[in-house]
Structure 1
Amino acid sequence: MTRPLTIAICVGEASGDLLGAHLIRAIKTRRPDAEFVGIGGERMKAEGFHSLYDQEKLAVRGFVEVVRRLPEILKIRKGIIRDLTALRPDVFVGIDAPDFNLGVAEKLKKAGIPTIHYVSPSVWAWRPERVNTIVHQVNRVLCLFPMEPQLYINAGGKAEFVGHPMAQTMPLEDDKTAARAKLGINPPSALFAILPGSQIREVDSMAPVFLQTALLLLKRYPDAQFILPTATEATRQRIGEILARPEFAKLPLTLVHKQADTVCTAADVVMVTSGTATLEVALCKRPMVISYKISALTYAYVKRKVNVQHVGLPNILLEKSAVPELLQHDAVPEKLAAAVADWYDHPEKIAAVQQDFRQLHLLLKKDTAALAAQAVLEEAKAV
């Protein structure tokens, strides 16, 4: 009896689970007989995926948490390598989580199993020498950004641009009025959004700075309102603790759980911590001020290793300073307030950057899941 097409997938966190679910669905439209196994979350399980280990055990963030959980994570990695080597799937797909998945892929590739890494690490910005290692660990890399494939090709690897899933799911045209109606907000004047980050350490570093900026903006625009989407229950609690400080007692701020895309679309200008959220703001077609603050020692180390002129994804992808970046010693309320006000007071600048963001959206918008499915089936020799 012929064994059904077997595709192994491994994800480390919720974003990977979503990509994995979309990939499974796209493969099933072409190969309904395919079976899926590995490590996945609830969305993938809903598509018929069989998870051999608890995906939540891999979803750890922060140095201390990783060190504490390292023995368990290494045990899972050893187990999944053993299980998949014995099963011999037609292809292995590691989705993001490069620290975990690339080690698994390397072992499986040596055992003769084709391997794919889906979502390139930021090799164009940080430690570009990793490209030379990755091309030996996997047969193919699926990239979300258009500048990435050539880096792998130059190193003798195989890679392709499949588009960014956010650009596929988010609307090309923004609707500020509808977003405000959904949130139940109708400010008499300006509405400024604050995105301090999805991790506690980012919130601790950036939320006080952004909230102090809000106080300065309130002096300039007395009718202004502020809105802040929280990424997790933990960050919501920490932001609540910061807002309890006397200096923020009279700040007209609304907390919203998640809904970052709706919040950004509703806002006039967004203050955002550097990271993936900056791309989401751009896809909402909103002007932003990007900021970030880390320890002086870490910043000195990172500055030597970083390989790009900009830190914000919109600026990197557009290859210009489309939006201001106020980092480290520049991440102070006075400078942030001035940059936000410069957007709000100059609608012609907002119109120009919105046009840039529409072009960026079109660049990144592809049928990501279908393109990824085609690549997976090719590596599995199932097309």
Structure 2
Amino acid sequence: MSEFRQSEQPREVMIVAGEASGDLHGAHLVRSMLARDPHLRFCGMGGRELQAADVELLADAAKLAVVGAVEVLSHLGDILRARRALIERMRDHRPALLILIDYPDFNLLLARKAKQFGIPVFYYISPQIWAWRSGRVRTIKRLVDRMAVILPFEPDFYARHGMEVDFVGHPLLDSVKPGLSPSEFRSRHGIGADRTLVGLLPGSRRKEIAALLPVFLEAAGRLARDMPRLTFLLPQAPTVSRALLDQHGLAAWQERLDIRVITEDRYAMMAACDAAMAASGTAVLELGILGVPTVAAYRMSPHTYWLGRLLIRGLRFFSLINLIAGRDIIPELLQDAANPDQIAQETRSMLIDQARRQAILAGLDEVRQQLGGPGASDRAAAVALSLLAERGAHG
């Protein structure tokens, strides 16, 4: 029996996600809420995952998933249309609850409108205001009724600003599950048990691939000079064309190295790796959850880098693994340091220096323990539904 009283009449909940990860985590949250109260109905903004969870999409998040000032300006019409559609729905139908997922510049404006309409606001997955623009915590405190965070250091950050939040754990612990064992993955892809596997994960955005894939391939070439029997695994996301990978070096290097392009079994591929080099971001955390020693690397335009240094102050690390641990667990290489020699050197060390390797594996296990265990979506659903019940009882 549900711990929440089910609604006699359907109540509408609006959920807004602006990026692929938010779309995925939002879909898990919707399913967890419906499992507890099947009388709810959902509308909002997202992508394929939220649509598959039976959310009525008022706006397509794929049209808004842009980075950089030029890209934002070129998509301004889409952004304004999406904002208008969501605000009109809030004004005309007054959802019982607004759920916002990350995406702060867009979502905080919606939170402000929700306040005007008397709609309670649940923010799931905090924007990274602990990294930059921390002044926005005052806006969040004023506009948000409940917030669920997914990183273990975030409750302390908000507490320092006089705001209590709910730590629900990281939703990746529910989704990062290999469908195959490492030996099954090797067998499926015709890779011998004697091969050492190194992952190459340059990111899924065009700019990331352009910046990092050539560097990773050069690093792979250096590794292969003095380490025999290496196989390199390169995942190809559905949004990335093979032509793009070939353009940035894959075609040339495949003639010299054993590189396998993997289009399925993404988490099984990651789990099978003995080590990896990856663009700093979600993939590094996924690899950490799977216990894979990883070199986190990132390169951006000099202008963006120096602007970032002005905006982001006081952070010792840029990878989530090290941020969560509060110390060096995996090597981080940024800008000029993210070069083929250093990446190859760090990767080689993680493969052959057993003392260092064991220290990294122990650190990754420590981080995994801090992430809260499986069930983040269920815990977030409990927070959302308690807010819904509380507001229903008072209004």
What TM-score do the two structures reach when normalised by structure 1?
Answer: 0.92
Match of 1:67 in 2: 73
Deviation at 1:299?
1.6
State the alpha-carbon separation in 1 of the partners of residues 97 and 295 from structure 2: 42
Any conservation in 1 of the 2:178–2:265 contact (CA below 8 Å)?
no
Match of 1:377 in 2: 385
Q: Equivalent residues in 2 for 1:311-326 (5 A)?
A: 311-326=318-333
Unaligned runs of 5+ in 2: 1-6
Match of 2:153 in 1: 147
Any conservation in 2 of the 1:285–1:357 contact (CA below 8 Å)?
yes
- Out of 74, 81, 90, which is 1:84 matched to? 90
Larger mean Cα displacement after TM superposition, 42-51 or 73-82: 42-51
Secondary structure at the residue paired with 2:166? Answer: strand
- Out of 29, 34, 38, which is 1:28 matched to? 34
Any conservation in 2 of the 1:194–1:210 contact (CA below 8 Å)?
yes
Match of 1:219 in 2: 225
State the alpha-carbon separation in 2 of the partners of residues 35 and 329 from structure 1: 50
Any conservation in 2 of the 1:5–1:34 contact (CA below 8 Å)?
yes
Larger mean Cα displacement after TM superposition, 168-177 or 120-129: 168-177
1:352 aligns with 2:359: yes
- Out of 277, 283, 290, which is 1:271 matched to? 277
Deviation at 1:245?
6.1
Match of 2:214 in 1: 208
Unaligned runs of 5+ in 1: none
1:119 aligns with 2:113: no
Match of 1:301 in 2: 307
Larger mean Cα displacement after TM superposition, 122-131 or 203-212: 122-131
Deviation at 1:332?
1.4
Name the aligned partner's letter for residue 98 of structure 1. P
State the alpha-carbon separation in 1 of the partners of residues 62 and 239 from structure 2: 16
Any conservation in 1 of the 2:101–2:124 contact (CA below 8 Å)?
yes
Match of 1:242 in 2: 248
Q: Aligned Cα RMSD in Å?
A: 2.5
Deviations 1:23-61 (A, max 9, x none): 222112222221222224333334332222334333334
1:341 aligns with 2:348: yes
State the alpha-carbon separation in 1 of the partners of residues 24 and 149 from structure 2: 16
State the alpha-carbon separation in 2 of the partners of residues 349 and 77 from structure 1: 50
What TM-score do the two structures reach when normalised by structure 2?
Answer: 0.89
Secondary structure at the residue paired with 1:53? Answer: strand
Match of 2:165 in 1: 159
Larger mean Cα displacement after TM superposition, 274-283 or 164-173: 164-173
- CA separation of 1:216 and 1:45: change in aligned 2, threshold 3 A: closer
Secondary structure at the residue paired with 2:317? Answer: coil
State the alpha-carbon separation in 2 of the partners of residues 363 and 168 from structure 1: 15
State the alpha-carbon separation in 1 of the partners of residues 301 and 294 from structure 2: 24
Deviation at 1:152?
2.5
State the alpha-carbon separation in 2 of the partners of residues 93 and 191 from structure 1: 41
Larger mean Cα displacement after TM superposition, 47-56 or 204-213: 47-56
Match of 1:368 in 2: 376
Give aligned-pair identity as a percent: 33
- Out of 228, 234, 239, which is 1:228 matched to? 234
1:58 aligns with 2:64: yes
State the alpha-carbon separation in 1 of the partners of residues 307 and 61 from structure 2: 32
Name the aligned partner's letter for residue 160 of structure 2. N
Matched length: 383
